[in-house]
Amino acid sequence: MDRTRGRTTVLGGVRDGKYPHGNSLLVRGTEETVLIDPSLSLVGRDDLPRPDRILNSHCHEDHVAGNHLYPGIPVHLHTADQPGLGSLDAMMAIYGMSPAIDAAFRRAIVDDFHWVPRPDARRFADGDVFDVGGCRIRVIHAPGHTRGHSLFHVEPDDVLYLGDIDLSSFGPYYGDAWSSLEDFERTLAAVRRIEARWYATFHHVGLVEGRAAFLERLDRFAAVIDTREARLLEFLAAPRTLDEIVAHRFVYRPGDAVVFAADVERRSMRQHLDRLLADGRIAERESTLVRL
């Protein structure tokens, strides 16, 4: 279901934008039409106006999956993520997949997500504004999920597009080579201070009205980080190897058929472990880690 607020429309994705689908954003100005994060759900839709430009919130497969529908249309994304559209090798560097699954994930990005190189992609930076006539789209750099992950504030509709700060029960994702737990936490604190009437997410929720409802969802989303860390500390009551920690699963549920789960668990938990080691809450003894 699409939802329109002023000149801004949230294009409802298949299964409420559940991965691999997503909720794209369409902004119709008097001078330009801008499409933000064209998703797989746009494949086959013929009821939408042709955009004058595309904005990608970041360079992940599901957020650029509809770029191929608009050859020749200018594509923009943050300068830190822009290399990922230049070549498939550069795209894969963002994830940092292990050799065991690298080849399969490359095929999925091309075959399932229709990735095409766009070395001509243009760069934007924090604070840049796209004036499309009758409304403006302001860029807010929000790293952590990726280095260049960005939000877009559409004014005067007062819609804040959150990208992959998706307010879901899954919680923040910081399991790629270009992810950062600490950056994500700083971003969540900064986003908490941004006021808007409407908050739009790429996955699941779609559209939230009002600051109170947004903050309630944001706090639940952010609390997943502490829950993961608390579970990790509990698990470390006995000495554990990193492989045992990875196998236990703190990001994905045991049994979830996610081909890259081990890679994501290893990178995510390594960041938690490094922080706990620096804080003196755990110790590393030979090849094991244990809670103090």
Residue 5 pLDDT:
97
How crowded is residue 228: how many other Cβ atoms within 10 Å of its Cβ? 18
Residue 222 pLDDT:
98
**Bridge partners, residue 9, by sequence:** 4, 26
Give the CA count within 13 Å in the CB-facing half-sphere of 63: 30
Give the CA count within 13 Å in the CB-facing half-sphere of 167: 21
Residue ending a domain, choose from 171, 189, 221 = 221
Give the pair of three-digit tokens for residue 63.
């957020």
Low-confidence ranges of the chain (pLDDT < 70): none
Residue 256 pLDDT:
92
Residue 238 pLDDT:
97
| pLDDT 10s digits, 130-178 | 999 999 999 999 999 999 999 999 999 999 999 999 999 999 999 999 9
> 245 and 199: one domain?
no
What span, in angstroms and rounded, lies between the C-alpha atoms of 161 and 200?
5
Is residue 226 a part of any domain in this protein?
A: no
**Residue ranges making up the domain that contains 248:** 236-291
> 102 and 30: one domain?
yes
How crowded is residue 209: how many other Cβ atoms within 10 Å of its Cβ? 12
- The answer to whether 41 and 14 have CB atoms below 8 angstroms apart is yes
Count of domains observed in the chain = 2
> 173 and 242: one domain?
no
> 178 and 123: one domain?
yes
Is residue 254 a part of any domain in this protein?
A: yes
Is residue 228 a part of any domain in this protein?
A: no
Is residue 9 a part of any domain in this protein?
A: yes
Residue 280 pLDDT:
98
The distance of Cα 64 from the centroid of its chain, to the nearest Å, equals: 11
Residue 11 pLDDT:
98
Q: Considering the entire predicted model, what is its pTM?
A: 0.97
> 195 and 254: one domain?
no
Residue ending a domain, choose from 187, 221, 255 = 221
What span, in angstroms and rounded, lies between the C-alpha atoms of 200 and 206?
5
Burial 73-109 (b: 16+ CB within 10 A, else e): eebbbbebbbbbbeeeebbbebbebeeebeeebbebb
Is residue 24 a part of any domain in this protein?
A: yes
Is residue 152 a part of any domain in this protein?
A: yes
Is residue 145 a part of any domain in this protein?
A: yes
- The answer to whether 290 and 200 have CB atoms below 8 angstroms apart is no
What span, in angstroms and rounded, lies between the C-alpha atoms of 47 and 59?
26
CATH of residue 85's domain is 3.60.15.10
> 122 and 96: one domain?
yes
Residue located via tokens 């554990």: 240
Residue 152 pLDDT:
99
> 282 and 149: one domain?
no
E-only strand ranges, the chain: 3-5, 8-11, 24-28, 33-36, 53-55, 75-78, 122-124, 129-131, 136-141, 150-155, 159-161, 198-200, 207-209, 282-285, 288-291
Report the share of the chain in percent with pLDDT over 90. Answer: 98
